[in-house]
Copies of this chain bind each other. A is one copy, B any other.
Amino acid sequence: MMDQIATNRTDYLYERVVDEISHLVDQGTLRAGDRIPSIRKLSSKDGISVSTVLQAYLVLENKGIIEARPQSGYYVKSHRDLPAEPKPTHPPPTVTAVGVSQLVSQVFHAARDPRVTDLGAATPSPGLLPIKRLNRIVGTLMRRYDPAAINYDFPPGYEPLRRQIAKRSPEFGSSLTADDIITTNGAMEAVNLCIRAVAKAGDIIAIESPTYFGFLQIIESLGMKAVEIPTHARNGILLDELEQLIRRHKIKACLLCTNLSNPLGSSMPDKNKKELVELLARREIPLIEDDIYGDLCFAPLRPKTAKAYDKKGLVLLCSSFSKTVAPGFRVGWAAPGRFRSEVERLKFMNTMATATLPQMTISEFLENGGYDRHLRRLKKRFADQMRFVTDLVSQRFPKETKVTRPAGGYLLWVELPKRVNSLRLHAEALRQNISIAPGPMFSPKNRYENFIRLSCGQTESERIEEAIAKLGRIMKDIR
């Protein structure tokens, strides 16, 4: 069916693939739920490179025409039963002090009760994590009586782990070496150190809108200011808007989650990442890029990072294994480009060292192949959970509700009818032992009042069903 593509090669071959498949869907040849040819198949059949087909499928996925199902393939997406998606955000283009940490504390404290069904925290259910495998590794390490396991591991951190991370870097488009990397106490510390390496109190940081509350807290705690960039629910920040903000304000750094952002689930197309890096490079503005969800993209090959396009060392890439392997191990890392030695010094001053045993364990897990297998299973579970929760929301929440359709991860950003105040919803839900993350946590000035973030990281179907139904009932009563 793709013969004309092979015979009409142009510089934008992937666009031809995109057009062709879009056309087949539009005319009804391919229908909702149909499987489309696998990347390998299309590539070998039509003599197009795998990477060209992959690029085309990513674009089609971003356009919402097809969807990747982990360990299965690509399918034409069904739109009939899904709730609509939220529109791009349009925060005011002003610089603001940040004040969310009081609210975040309240929400976090409240959710600690084990009777509470937690749809609020972005934590994968422990049942999805490779406990047994990690336990075996720790056991083996312990039996070696290696004194290194209990001794200091000073910055830049455990060398074999840094090597493992570097070895995987081509997957996100980079060719890092162990020396480029500094291990940290989770991505939270990585982002902290990176932002401190490039900016100081009073400086303006540009962020997505909405953005992860942890970022807002970091900015707040360091006495910096934030300016919010309008953001598309699928494609991430709007580059034109960022450019205007840069003209208007003296932006010291950008802090972005370029793949599967939290809470929006947006992923910047690789083309946009490249443009972003170039735009910032022209003005020597550093980009702190958080990629903690990047490995959780449902497509068989994960997307690149902005770091892949970094020629000037201005991108400080941060990530961790908290969302994929073991949150409580607190193993994260930074590849801070030209700010490497400053970040290393700050690491020493901030926490002196990262715990050694967790680093050794993760390193071993990466080295002996457990990670990729685990990741495939995990993504499949998250995809299922996300479909399950989305379906429940569309059945139980008010009709006007809009929901994001992230291409990975396990977070949904839900726009409720204007009349529903999510802080009131949160309070009432908590009284009924349900925890959600209210929208105002994700904005410096507590906007997004009729939004909530739902985590699909939990797996107890009955509890989730019950909780979503209850939330729906509460919303009916709120006005």
Binding site for B on A (CB under 8 A): 101, 104-105, 108, 112, 121, 123, 126-127, 129, 131-132, 134-135, 138-139, 142-143, 145, 147-154, 185-186, 188-189, 192, 196, 200-201, 214, 217-218, 220-221, 223, 322, 325-330, 341, 344-346, 348-358
CB distance from A359 to the nearest CB of B (A): 9
Check if B350 sits within 8 Å of A189, measured CB to CB.
yes
Residues of B within 8 A of A327 (CB): 150-152, 353
Check if B351 sits within 8 Å of A330, measured CB to CB.
yes
**In the complex, A147 Cα to B114 Cα: how many Å?**
14
Check if A328 sits within 8 Å of B356, measured CB to CB.
yes
Check if B328 sits within 8 Å of A149, measured CB to CB.
yes
Residues of B within 8 A of A214 (CB): 348-349, 352
Copies in the complex: 2
Are A351 and B221 CB-contacts (below 8 A) given A142-B139, A345-B101? no
**In the complex, A192 Cα to B351 Cα: how many Å?**
8
Are A350 and B192 CB-contacts (below 8 A) given A131-B150, A151-B123, A357-B358? yes
Residues of B within 8 A of A150 (CB): 126, 129, 131, 134, 325-329
Check if B328 sits within 8 Å of A105, measured CB to CB.
no
Query: What residue of chain B has the Cβ atom nearest to residue A348's Cβ?
Result: B217
Which of these, B143, B151, B344, contacts A135 with CB under 8 Å? B143
Residues of B within 8 A of A330 (CB): 185, 351-355
Check if A357 sits within 8 Å of B345, measured CB to CB.
no
Are A135 and B142 CB-contacts (below 8 A) given A353-B328, A355-B329? yes
Check if A192 sits within 8 Å of B126, measured CB to CB.
no
Residues of B within 8 A of A223 (CB): 200-201
CB distance from A355 to the nearest CB of B (A): 4
Residues of B within 8 A of A101 (CB): 345, 348-349
CB distance from A442 to the nearest CB of B (A): 15
Check if B192 sits within 8 Å of A108, measured CB to CB.
no
Residues of B within 8 A of A131 (CB): 145, 147, 149-150
**In the complex, A405 Cα to B152 Cα: how many Å?**
27
CB distance from A215 to the nearest CB of B (A): 10
Are A152 and B328 CB-contacts (below 8 A) given A139-B139, A145-B131? yes
User: Please, could you name 27 A-B residue pairs with CB atoms under 8 Å apart, sorted by A?
Assistant: A101-B349, A108-B154, A123-B151, A129-B147, A129-B151, A135-B142, A138-B142, A138-B357, A139-B139, A139-B142, A148-B328, A150-B326, A150-B327, A152-B322, A152-B327, A153-B328, A185-B355, A186-B352, A186-B353, A188-B351, A201-B223, A218-B349, A221-B345, A221-B350, A328-B353, A330-B353, A355-B358
Q: A101-B349, A134-B150, A350-B350 are in contact. List 7 more A-B contacts (CB 8 A).
A: A126-B151, A150-B325, A151-B328, A152-B328, A214-B352, A218-B349, A351-B351
Query: What residue of chain B has the Cβ atom nearest to residue A134's Cβ?
Result: B150
Residues of B within 8 A of A151 (CB): 123, 126, 129, 326-328
Check if A351 sits within 8 Å of B186, measured CB to CB.
yes
**In the complex, A345 Cα to B189 Cα: how many Å?**
14
Which of these, B121, B123, B351, contacts A185 with CB under 8 Å? B351
CB distance from A354 to the nearest CB of B (A): 7
Residues of B within 8 A of A135 (CB): 142-143, 145
**In the complex, A154 Cα to B131 Cα: how many Å?**
19
Check if A221 sits within 8 Å of B196, measured CB to CB.
yes
Residues of B within 8 A of A153 (CB): 328
**In the complex, A214 Cα to B348 Cα: how many Å?**
8
CB distance from A96 to the nearest CB of B (A): 18
**In the complex, A104 Cα to B101 Cα: how many Å?**
34
Check if B357 sits within 8 Å of A329, measured CB to CB.
yes
